[in-house]
Amino acid sequence: MDLQLSGKTALVTGASKGMGLEVVRVLHEEGVRVVTASRTISPALAETGAVTLTGDLSLPDVPARIVTDALGVTGTLDILVNNVGGGDTGAPGAGFLDFGDEAWSSTVDLNLYAAVRTTRAALPALLDSRGAVVNVSSDSARRPQTAPLPYGAAKAALNAVTKGLSEEFGPRGVRFNTVSPSSTRTALWEGKQSFGADLAQAMNVTQEELIAALPSQMGMLTNRFIEPREIATTIAYLVSPLADSVHGANWVVDAGVSKTI
């Protein structure tokens, strides 16, 4: 299917690995000129041919600088994918009393303010192009018991911001939507030093056994983790002209984990 994205320009944050990296690949396949922002440039990201910018988007001044540099390369901006995030990797079993102000602040800075600041800087260009924005949230916003509370709360706030921005700027031609994945096959679960490794150790099973058993235990109807490309193709559709009537939506990609209507 032709998503009618050829010739468009995009900025993708948190692009060095996982879902962000796959978004870059899919958009590139669709003919989009992609600029990326991440703390580091992984070999896999470098291989995509995207224009790569570096910076810690959780810092107040970095998002505006990244947007300025991206526009210096492309001249225009049609697509913004706020994928950067983290803080969902606390010690297994960590509860509310285990997180102090610093943990809350750093989590909110990365999962909420990074998107807010990047969007604010990019909006003039997006208004000119009548562009599209996708904010990557998490099903932890809908099921806060499944991740450290600061992370779920920050993502819930991101959902609310996306809906508010849609109401304000949709009539002016900019579309805002959210994608909320559940457990996805990334280094978060499969890395040697990762949340998945720590959880497996806490449960006294191998990491491979955990990854094999967890999807069905979570209620994922596919009995497998979500592939990053499944999230990336969803995002590519949402930023495409084929989704022009999709405004302020939260597309949940969770393999049926959520059992509510």
Residue 31 lies in a domain: yes
Q: What is the pLDDT of residue 137?
A: 97
Same domain, 191 and 231: no
Same domain, 119 and 243: yes
Diameter over CA atoms, the chain: 55
Model confidence over 182-224: pLDDT tens digits? Answer: 989 887 788 887 778 888 888 889 998 988 998 999 899 999 9
Token pair of 241, please? Answer: 């002209």
Same domain, 146 and 196: no
Q: What is the pLDDT of residue 91?
A: 66
| CA–CA distance, 20 with 14 (Å, rounded to integer) | 6
Residue 126 lies in a domain: yes
Same domain, 215 and 96: no
C-alpha distances (whole Å) from 104 to each of 107, 108, 148, 150 are 5, 6, 10, 6
Q: What is the pLDDT of residue 90?
A: 65
Beta bridge partners of 37: 13, 53
| CA–CA distance, 124 with 120 (Å, rounded to integer) | 8
* Cβ contact 198:92 at 8 Å: yes
Model confidence over 134-156: pLDDT tens digits? Answer: 999 999 999 888 788 999 999 99
| CA–CA distance, 110 with 84 (Å, rounded to integer) | 7
Contacts of 199 (CB under 8 A, 6+ apart): 92, 210
Angle at the Cα of 137 from the Cα atoms of 182 and 71, rounded to 5 degrees: 135
C-alpha distances (whole Å) from 180 to each of 76, 138, 226 are 27, 4, 12
Same domain, 237 and 208: no
Same domain, 96 and 112: yes
Token pair of 32, please? Answer: 């989009």
Cβ neighbours around 240 below 10 Å, total: 21
Q: What is the pLDDT of residue 89?
A: 67
Residue 142 lies in a domain: yes
| CA–CA distance, 221 with 103 (Å, rounded to integer) | 33
Same domain, 87 and 194: no
- φ, ψ of residue 183 in degrees (nearest 5): -60, 120
C-alpha distances (whole Å) from 79 to each of 14, 54, 134, 160, 248 are 15, 19, 8, 20, 15
Residue 53 lies in a domain: yes
* Cβ contact 74:80 at 8 Å: no
Residue 3 lies in a domain: no
DSSP state of 219: T
Residue 110 lies in a domain: yes
- φ, ψ of residue 94 in degrees (nearest 5): -65, 135
Residue 164 lies in a domain: yes
Same domain, 82 and 192: no
CATH of the domain at 180: 3.40.50.720
Same domain, 97 and 215: no
Same domain, 88 and 52: yes
Domain count, the chain: 2
Q: What is the pLDDT of residue 170?
A: 98
For 176-215, give one letter per residue: b (16+ CB within 10 A) or e.
Answer: bbbbbbbbbbbebbeeeebbbbebbeeeeeebeebbeebb
Residue 259 lies in a domain: no
Token pair of 154, please? Answer: 């920050």
Q: What is the pLDDT along the chain (261 residues), one digit of tens a residue?
A: 899 999 999 999 999 999 999 999 999 999 999 999 999 999 999 999 999 999 999 999 999 999 999 999 999 999 999 999 987 666 667 889 999 999 999 999 999 999 999 999 999 999 999 999 999 999 999 988 878 899 999 999 999 999 999 999 999 999 999 999 998 988 778 888 777 888 888 888 999 898 899 899 989 999 999 999 999 999 999 999 999 999 999 999 999 999 888
Same domain, 180 and 153: yes
For residue 213, the enclosing domain spans 185-225
| CA–CA distance, 226 with 186 (Å, rounded to integer) | 9
Same domain, 203 and 76: no
- φ, ψ of residue 194 in degrees (nearest 5): -155, 170
